[in-house]
A and B are shown apart, each in its own frame.
Chain A
């Protein structure tokens, strides 16, 4: 419209954007991607071991090994998906491309549950570790109140918007891996080599091996140990060369995570009985790595490692809580920008430039979830199971989406393609993704059928999400499956 003509009612002035110059500047390399993913996994070591031991007792290393194999399937699927679709949505993006908007929403909403429970579980584990300095923090009520305070503090920080240094993250992760490796070496040399039969006794001795039901439930809970896969996928869009760097970061994570989990679980069971490791009241279920440090056979080593583990655990777990918080706000933004959630959730604060509504809303859900912790000692294990419910579901959706993309879009460029394929109706299907889909679905069914708390809360969460999705899409006059197709529903 010429500038010299006066505007009339109803006239709209459109000024095109400077699109030609609008580019994303991606600067993350393999170390930053790896440390972001390991920041999640590294923090999960501090709580997962105790939660798994609570159920799997002496079979904890075996259960973690089985879950580790499923973890390899998951990491390979995510490596192919993230290199192919470097977007911020993880399994939600894979499913949106592989199926439709509804599939993407189911994967994303399940992932949201796992992020919320990551926030709750990570924060809940900080007070038991800090109880080395302040023993009163081991009290469930005081511990839960402190954890809620930490979440509230992080919520406010994230609403204001904090700067996070990638270099500082890498340094922390390096110190964390070094400490954990030193603990493993010290445990193997000072405990296992001195008396190898103690591990056999603690694993297979009378009353130490779990029932078959608990063994299977243990495998489900062990999914808690292998977080981080989604985090790397979410950051794929920030990688300088996602097609090469993301698969490399995944392979590094697979190696480090499997070695450390095997080492830590074996050393933990060598250092203490499974009953002590899995006891939330008088044992070390809520702070298992502190248990290893406290049970080293040298007073000098104990005096070095016990405070070091307490400080490191608190730091890494705070980072893990914060990572969950940022993950969920990014995911909420991603879902709402694809018309899968109301746009309100992606509203950015005019001053702080953060998605404040999503941050506050999901932190409140995490805080609500923590309330039973005031009264129940074993509640952290229920939270762990709820995490597994969400993450297993989103992993299953991711496997299914990758298989669907292989069938429906076989020519899509795949910079990282999983090897070991079988041909189904002329299409290459990766065996690991098929096994991943079967194993994660089976473990999810066992978990949902066997755990009333997880079943009720998890299913309420999913149904609430689907209800919101249905109402939102109907209000916006969008089809349930494809945003592009407008349909009365």
Chain B
């Protein structure tokens, strides 16, 4: 299986770091390209192009960290900030536009009414993505 174009959506969770490391390992074999994206979700009461300073700072911090993790692995990622109404459609759209072979997402443990939940983004991507998907789940503690 070749993974030449890998998209790694990041959200600032602990799982991001491991997902990026795994993406680097997979991409190295085929000298593939990795894109890391952070999606700023803009509420409908604001225009889509609204610049929310605190969110942009947060996004940049997360992507700086992602780049440094990749650098530790001796690999390079292209990091992007997207601004969208919802994260799921934005990630799928990005994958379509980039023509990626793989989306590698880190997911964290979330409990909802006592049940394990994947949230809303991962299920949307699983259902709609045009390529293979690997979900990296950190150990539930």
- Closest A-chain residue to B43, C-beta based? A161
A18-B79, A21-B79, A238-B85 in contact; A26/B46 too (CB < 8 A)?
no
Closest chain B CB from A155 CB (angstroms): 11
Establish whether residues B60 and A17, one from each chain, have CB atoms under 8 Å apart when the complex forms. yes
Question: Does B12 make an interface contact (CB < 8 A)?
Answer: no
Q: In residues 66-90 of chain B, which contact A (Cβ within 8 Å)?
A: 78-86, 89-90
Establish whether residues A25 and B90, one from each chain, have CB atoms under 8 Å apart when the complex forms. yes
Q: In residues 82-110 of chain A, which contact B (Cβ within 8 Å)?
A: 87-88
Question: Does A354 make an interface contact (CB < 8 A)?
Answer: yes
- Closest A-chain residue to B54, C-beta based? A350
Closest chain B CB from A463 CB (angstroms): 27
Set of chain B residues within 8 Å of A325, measured between Cβ atoms: 45
Establish whether residues A25 and B39, one from each chain, have CB atoms under 8 Å apart when the complex forms. yes
* Docked CA distance A176–B80 (Å): 40
A21-B79, A21-B80, A23-B82 in contact; A238/B60 too (CB < 8 A)?
no
Establish whether residues A24 and B45, one from each chain, have CB atoms under 8 Å apart when the complex forms. no
Question: Does B93 make an interface contact (CB < 8 A)?
Answer: yes
Set of chain B residues within 8 Å of A164, measured between Cβ atoms: 44
A17-B60, A161-B43 in contact; A27/B84 too (CB < 8 A)?
yes
Interface string of B90-117 (1 = CB under 8 A from A): 1001100000000000000000000000
Set of chain A residues within 8 Å of B52, measured between Cβ atoms: 348, 353
Set of chain A residues within 8 Å of B50, measured between Cβ atoms: 333, 337, 346, 348
Establish whether residues B46 and A27, one from each chain, have CB atoms under 8 Å apart when the complex forms. no
Set of chain B residues within 8 Å of A326, measured between Cβ atoms: 44-45
Closest chain B CB from A403 CB (angstroms): 26
Set of chain B residues within 8 Å of A354, measured between Cβ atoms: 43, 45-46
8 Å CB contact of A158 from B45, B82, B85, B93: B45
Q: Interface size of A by Cβ–Cβ distance < 8 Å?
A: 33
Secondary structure call for the B interface? mixed
Set of chain B residues within 8 Å of A333, measured between Cβ atoms: 46-47, 50
Question: Does B63 make an interface contact (CB < 8 A)?
Answer: yes
* Docked CA distance A453–B18 (Å): 65
Question: Does B122 make an interface contact (CB < 8 A)?
Answer: no
Set of chain B residues within 8 Å of A87, measured between Cβ atoms: 47
Establish whether residues A23 and B45, one from each chain, have CB atoms under 8 Å apart when the complex forms. no
Set of chain A residues within 8 Å of B93, measured between Cβ atoms: 25, 27
* Docked CA distance A23–B97 (Å): 13
Residues of B within 8 A of A (CB): 39, 42-50, 52, 54-56, 59-60, 63, 78-86, 89-90, 93-94
Beyond the given pairs A329-B45, A348-B52, A350-B54, 12 more chain A to chain B contacts, judged by CB atoms under 8 angstroms and listed by A's residue number, are: A18-B80, A21-B78, A24-B48, A24-B82, A25-B39, A27-B85, A27-B90, A88-B49, A237-B49, A238-B85, A346-B50, A348-B54
- Please list 20 pairs of residues, one from A and one from B, whose beta carbons are closer than 8 Å in the complex, sorted by A's number: A18-B63, A21-B79, A21-B80, A23-B83, A24-B83, A25-B39, A25-B82, A25-B89, A25-B93, A25-B94, A27-B90, A87-B47, A88-B47, A163-B86, A238-B48, A329-B45, A334-B47, A352-B43, A354-B43, A354-B45
